[in-house]
Amino acid sequence: MADLTQNDWTKQLEQDPDAVILDVRTAEEVEMGIIPKAMHIDIYQGQGFIDEVKNLDKSKNYYVYCKAGSRSAQACAVMNQLGFENAFNLIGGFTQWKGEVTI
């Protein structure tokens, strides 16, 4: 897992052909907006989160975010334990996101 600033996270994401954006916030938080092309798996689903993550392609690189950066760091740690080598946490999360948002 790597914690990246928004600038580094965005720059790396844009240059990564194997990038997948993963939003781990709650459904209520996602209703406030989401980073374009992000897939949503709520980390608060517990085992449901783990089950869904296990079905993801481990060869991809995952750019993970939540509201402030704590849950996404936890999600990256879980993903690493499940064999994902490239999970990148967005420091500051969606709260500090300055890029495009879709509602």
CATH number at residue 27: 3.40.250.10
* Residue 100 tokens, joined: 């495009």
Domain contains 100: no
Give pLDDT, residue 24. Answer: 98
Per the CB < 8 A criterion, the answer to whether 42 and 25 are in contact is: yes
> Is the Cα torsion angle 70, 43, 9, 38 positive or negative in sign?
negative
Give pLDDT, residue 76. Answer: 98
**Residue range of the domain that includes 14:** 2-90
Give pLDDT, residue 43. Answer: 98
Q: Does this model's pTM top 0.95?
A: yes
Counting the structural domains of the chain, the total is 1
User: Residue type at 56?
Assistant: L
3-state secondary structure of 78: helix
pLDDT digits 0-9 by tens, 33-75: 999 999 999 999 999 999 999 999 999 999 999 999 999 999 9
Q: How far is CA 80 from CA 83, 88, 91, in A?
A: 5, 10, 17
Give pLDDT, residue 1. Answer: 75
